[in-house]
Structure 1
Amino acid sequence: MSKAGDLYGQSLYDLAVEENLSDEILGEMEVVKQIFKENPDYITLLSEPSVPKNERLQLVDQAFDNSLQPYLMNFIKILIEKGLLREFSACQKRFRKSYNEDHGIADALVTTAVKLDEKQLSLLKDKLEKISGKKILLEQKTDPNVYGGVRVDLEGQLFDGTVKGRLSELRRRVDETVI
């Protein structure tokens, strides 16, 4: 994460907590992050120094038309004014990280060769919640290169039960034995 993203994201989070708006602002930040991700040209336009600052700010007003919480709207405008709008994603990550810490939530990335069904995801989520003692937010990713099994990245801790992971471990052991 960038230094500016950390600083600005944490500042917005602190304000949101103080004003009891952390849930609302987090939800809106995730929507805005997705909009920016799907429309990279929009960020380029809002970051373009040749477009007068007041015009860029008006574009944001028109785009979101009072649909965002005023603190978040002003936050986006500050990023535009400071030339830091490209840091919005890092700010959102920092906000989410602080929110998760305060609410006992952990993010987990689950990687499998084929998509898991809802029942499988629910069972995995329950197991991870027992292991971590936290509420788990699961993100699922498919990668045919894992061949089979499940790999979970839970707050930087890797649980690799994939066929590819087992083969790599077996290969490493064989190499150590032979050498």
Structure 2
Amino acid sequence: MSRTGRLYGDSLYDLAAGEGLEEAIREQMEQIRELFRENPAYVKLLSQPVIPLEERKKLIEEAFGSQAERYLVNFLKLLCDRGLLREYPECCRAFAARYDRDRGIVRAEAVSAVRLSEEQMEALRKKLEKFSGRQVKLSQRLDPGVLGGLRVEMEGKSLDGTVKGRLQGIAEKLNEMT
């Protein structure tokens, strides 16, 4: 996460928390992030210095003014004003990280070669919650390089239950014995 994204995302979170708007703004930020991802030309338009700044801010107001929280609309205008709209996804990540931390939520990612079923994901989530003592939001990423089993990445740590991971563990133990 970039320093700029963290600074701006945390600042918006502080404002939102002061008004009790964290959840609403988090949801709206994700919707806008998805909209920006699907429409990169719109973000490029809002970043064009040949278009007067007031016109770009007016476009933001027209697009989001009646639908998003005022703090978020003003936040988008501020990013536009400072030429930082490219940092918006990082701001979203920082905001979401603060939101999760304040609620005792930890994010984890299951990495496997094949898609896990809903039942498997739910069982894994429950085990991770028991292990961590916190609420876990679990996502999944497919990696064809994972041979047998799965790897869970959580809080900067990797819990490796893959065949490759087990073989590496055995090799390390054998090396220690020699």
Task: Give the TM-score taking structure 2 as reference length.
Answer: 0.92
Separation (CA, whole Å) in 1 of partners of 2:58 and 2:163: 53
* Residues 57-105 of structure 1: CA deviation (Å, up to 9, x unaligned): 1222233351111110110011000111111111111111111111000
Correspondence for 1:131: 131
User: How far apart in 1 are the matches of 2:166 and 2:66?
Assistant: 52
1:169 and 1:81, CA in 2 relative to 1: closer, same or farther beyond 3 A?
same
1:149-160 → structure 2 map (5 Å cutoff):
149-160=149-160
Q: Contact 1:146/1:165 (CA < 8 Å) preserved in 2? A: no
> Which residue in 2 is equivalent to 1:82?
82
- Give 1:31 shift: 1.1
Where do 4+ consecutive residues of structure 1 move more than 6 Å?
Answer: none
Match of 2:115 in 1: 115
Mapped to 1, the partners of 2:108 and 2:26 lie a distance apart of: 18
Q: Is the 8 A contact 2:25 2:69 kept in 1?
A: yes
Count of equivalent residues: 178
Query: Which runs of 5 or more structure 2 residues have no equivalent in the other structure?
Result: none
Aligned partner of residue 127 in structure 2, secondary structure? helix
Residue 161 of structure 2 aligns to a residue whose secondary structure is strand
Aligned sequence identity (%): 46
- Tell me, which stretches of 5 or more residues in structure 1 are unaligned? none
Pair 1:50 & 2:50 matched: yes
Residues 12-45 of structure 1: per-residue CA shift (max 9 Å, x gap): 1011110000010011111111111222222111
Give the whole-Å Cα distance in 1 for the aligned partners of 2:56 and 2:132: 44
Query: So what's the TM-score if we normalise by structure 1?
Result: 0.91
Letter in 1 for 2:148: G
RMSD of aligned residue pairs (Cα, Å): 1.8
Instruction: Quote the Cα distance in structure 2 between the aligned partners of 1:74 and 1:20.
Output: 17
